[in-house]
A and B are shown apart, each in its own frame.
Chain A
Amino acid sequence: MSAPLSVSGDVRVAPERPRPATGFWRRALRHRSFVTGGALGLLVLCAALLSLVWTPWSAYEINVASKLRPPSAAHWLGTDVFGRDIVSLLLVGARSTIMVGIIAVGIGLTFGVCLGLIAAARKGWTEELIMRMSDFTFAFPAVLSAIMLAAVAGPGMVTSITAIGIFQIPTLVRVTRGSANAIWAREFVLAARASGKGGFRITIEHVLPNILSVLIVQATIQFALAILAEAALSYLGLGTQPPQPSWGRMLNDAQTLLFQSPMLAVYPGAAIAVAVLGLNLLGDGLRDLLDPRLARER
């Protein structure tokens, strides 16, 4: 049975390297909420990308003469109080929404995951310190910390991104530490330690890959939360500053005209809802699809 080792030189890799996620896309495309969420997310992303090259009208140009127009062939969704085209505003708004989401979740992931992994690996007072610090951050309402930050650094996109990013950290620390602890308790980690690996290598090679799916799902949901937070902050005037369009800003502008032209509030509201719904569905779908028990089926 044990043939002599004739593997010298060219060690052929088996032609098909089956992975745990075999047929991921095949299953993904059959998953209803993943497909719906993906489509909605893609819609927002395409809107943002489109706005970089083309918008029906300029989103910055004020034309008071044509203010508050109803939908027409020229302005598909009408114009706002400054005569700006709603479609153009929504397209450009998508851009800032996505940018805020990506950067804020990026901040949250970078710090949250690192701290969570350290807490799980080091235990003892390090873990205690990290967790109490994140509890402390958690105790502050996001909007409150954004207001404080805006008071110090002045309102604006950078401020709101930073505030949202910081707000994301404690959630991600907890999620990371929780799932990392579960991995640390697994026997293969003990086996890895028995083969002489230290805490850092185990974290990178064993813990992180095994909690990645949890993190991806969580990041999607955090993205949705970041979008909501950005809209809220812009609505309060702490986020994106005029003339830069943003969905939250549009809601704010529409507020005073709620009885005159209620549709002005509906469009950005619907856009926010679509983006958040899409990301939540996507997160749910990913959670199902990345579940190892389902992925193992061959």
Chain B
Amino acid sequence: MGGSANTPLIEVRDLGVRLNTSRGPAQAVRGVSFALKRGETLGLVGESGCGKSVTALALMGLLPESAVISGSIRLDGSELVGLSDANYCKLRGNRISMIFQEPMTALNPMHTIGRQVAEPLRRHTNCSAAQARKEAIALLDRVGLPDAAKRVDAYPHQFSGGQRQRATIAMALACQPDVLIADEPTTALDVTIQGQILDLMADLVAERGMSMLLISHDLGVIAENVQRMAVMYGGTVVENGATDAVFTRMGHPYTQGLFRARPRLGVRKGTRLKTIAGTVPELADLPSGCTFADRCAIVEDRCRVVLPAAVDVGAGHGVRCLRTDISMAEAAGVLGA
């Protein structure tokens, strides 16, 4: 374990995932690279079908067997791509944990909450049932479930959505994992509960020194909760960097479009939301060049030839665009608008 603070805990290099769908093979993820240091938080943002969740599942080794994975995923220096399922089982829930989007369906309706929270402990540590139960109560208490000692024997259907999400967080934290992957953890929750859950997760990440990969389609959630962020589109990371840097100097036309498209308060009634023209490309039929080319306002012929490499626009802020000179000049206008 361990390693110095500067070596990445998780290092993903040139990750590619090809899924076999009914419409033929789909390159769901390509050329995704990022690194996560101990205690660091990274946000993955993008619209539905851009490859966020597939990336997360690839990290967890939970992709369907027919998926073809290329590139490298290293946890503490050891390679995870190609690891046998039996060995992966020892990591999952132990060193890497995951929180899912739908707390309503992520818990087994047939088992008590306590049993499900204690499950990873029973699986990965050799503690007794009584110890695991006690620990489960402590965990549920920590994630802010009122009256945890009593409610540990309740079934999921007796919990509200927010309470269930707290329970799944407790479940993910049971074995003190090094890496926590949260796949849209608040999308299915009320806005008021969203804030509470995100605060709770931020507290826990800080308290336990975990690294967190937070996946969301919500720029607001990303802006407030992670140190670094990566914007995904069409299976690739189109822009990445420190959250502040990305938000102040958006380099990619897609990031800018995403930012313009968010609903805002205080806009005159009847103002239409700005949208990005066109639709997301089919993963089974991606264009050869820049995946955003068909929707981009400043597209040129050379954009359609090859997938642009990431251009460093300063301080680890990378943008996969050939026309950063133009787009970055426009960025000021975007933010003013």
A263 CB, nearest partner CB in chain B, Å: 50
- Judge if A19 is at the interface, Cβ distance under 8 Å: yes
Q: Does A27 contact B (CB under 8 A)?
A: no
Q: Contact residue range for chain B?
A: 35 or more
Given A3-B141, A188-B108, A198-B86, are A11 and B93 also a contact pair (CB < 8 Å)? no
Q: Which residue of the partner chain, among A8, A195, A209, contacts B120 with CB atoms under 8 Å?
A: A195
| A141 CB within 8 Å of chain B | no
Flag whether A2 is at the interface (Cβ < 8 A). yes
Any B CB within 8 A of the CB of A190 = yes
- Smallest distance from the beta carbon of B177 to chain A beta carbons, Å? 10
- Contacting residue for B149 out of A1, A11, A19, CB 8 A: A11
* B62 and A194 within 8 A (CB): yes
- What's the Cα separation between A2 and B98 when bound, in Å? 24
A157-192 interface bits toward B, Cβ cutoff 8 Å, 1 = contact, 0 = none: 000000000000000000000000000001110111
* A196 and B62 alpha carbons, distance in the complex (Å): 10
Assembly CA distance A45 to B98 (angstroms)? 51
User: Which 3 residue pairs across A and B have the least CB separation, nearest first?
Assistant: A195-B93, A196-B93, A196-B92
Q: CA–CA, A198 to B89, complex, Å?
A: 7
Among residues of A, the one whose C-beta sits closest to the C-beta of B158 is A18
B97 touches A195 (CB 8 A): yes
Question: With a CB–CB cut-off of 8 A, which chain A residues contact B60?
Answer: 193-194
The residues in A between 111 and 130 inclusive whose CB is less than 8 angstroms from any CB of B are: 123-124
Q: List 8 A-B contacts (CB under 8 A).
A: A1-B144, A14-B151, A187-B101, A187-B105, A188-B109, A193-B62, A195-B92, A197-B119
Tell me, yes or no, whether B337 is within 8 Å of chain A by CB: no
Of A1, A7, A197, A292, the residue contacting B134 (CB under 8 A) is: A7
Given known A7-B149, A205-B111, contact A124–B65 (CB-CB < 8 A):
yes
Asked if B274 is at the interface of the complex by the 8 Å CB criterion, the answer is: no
Task: Using A11-B134, A187-B105, A190-B100 as known contacts, say yes or no to A20 and B124 having CB atoms under 8 A apart.
Answer: no
Interface string of B121-137 (1 = CB under 8 A from A): 00110000010011001
> Given the complex, which residues of B lie within 8 Å of A193, measured CB to CB?
60, 62, 92
CB of A144 within 8 A of chain B? no
Which residues of chain A have C-beta atoms less than 8 A from B142's C-beta?
A: 2
A230 to B102, CA, bound (A): 49
- What residues on B are CB-neighbors of A191 within 8 Å? 98, 100, 106-107, 168, 171
Question: Which of B100, B134, B154, B171 has a CB less than 8 Å from the CB of A187?
Answer: B100
Known A18-B158, A191-B106, A205-B108; 15 more pairs at CB < 8 Å: A2-B141, A3-B141, A5-B137, A8-B134, A13-B153, A14-B150, A14-B154, A187-B102, A188-B107, A190-B106, A194-B172, A195-B93, A195-B97, A195-B123, A195-B172
Partner of B62 from A12, A190, A292 at Cβ < 8 Å:
A190
Does the CB pair B62–A11 fall under 8 Å? no
Chain A 214-246 against B: per-residue CB contact (8 Å), 1 yes, 0 no? 000000000000000000000000000000000
CB of B171 to closest CB in A, whole Å: 6
- Residue B138 at the A interface, CB < 8 A? yes
A11: which B residues are within 8 A, CB to CB?
130, 133-134, 137, 149
Shortest CB–CB separation between residue B66 and chain A, in angstroms?
Answer: 9
Cβ of B158: which chain A residues have Cβ within 8 Å of it? 18, 298
Interface presence of B91 (CB below 8 A)? yes
A196 is contacted by which of B91, B100, B137 (Cβ under 8 Å)?
B91
Chain B residues with CB under 8 Å of A17's CB are: 153
- Tell me, in angstroms, the Cα distance from A9 to B141 when the chains sit together: 17
Enumerate A1-51 residues with CB–CB distance to B below 8 Å.
1-3, 5, 7-8, 11-14, 17-20
B106 A196 Cβ-Cβ under 8 A: no
A132 within 8 A of B: no
- List chain B residues, Cβ under 8 A from A190: 62, 100, 106
Q: Shortest beta-carbon distance, B174 to chain A, in Å?
A: 8
Is residue A206 contacting chain B, with contact meaning CB distance below 8 A?
yes
In the complex, the answer to whether B157 meets A14 with C-beta atoms within 8 Å is no
Tell me the bound Cα distance from A191 to B149 in angstroms: 23
* Nearest A residue to B60, CB-CB: A194
Contact of A197 among B105, B110, B123, B157 (CB under 8 A): B123
Instruction: Tell me if A145 is interfacial: C-beta within 8 Å of chain B.
Output: no
In the assembled complex, how far is the CB of residue A202 from the closest CB belonging to chain B, in whole angstroms? 10
CB distance from B47 to the nearest CB of A (A): 21
Q: With A196-B94, A209-B110 given, is the CB distance from A20 to B123 under 8 Å? A: no
* Chain B min CB distance to A190 (Å): 6
By a CB distance below 8 angstroms, the chain A residues around B86 are: 198
Any chain A CB within 8 A of the CB of B316? no
Q: Let me know if B325 is at the binding interface, CB within 8 A.
A: no
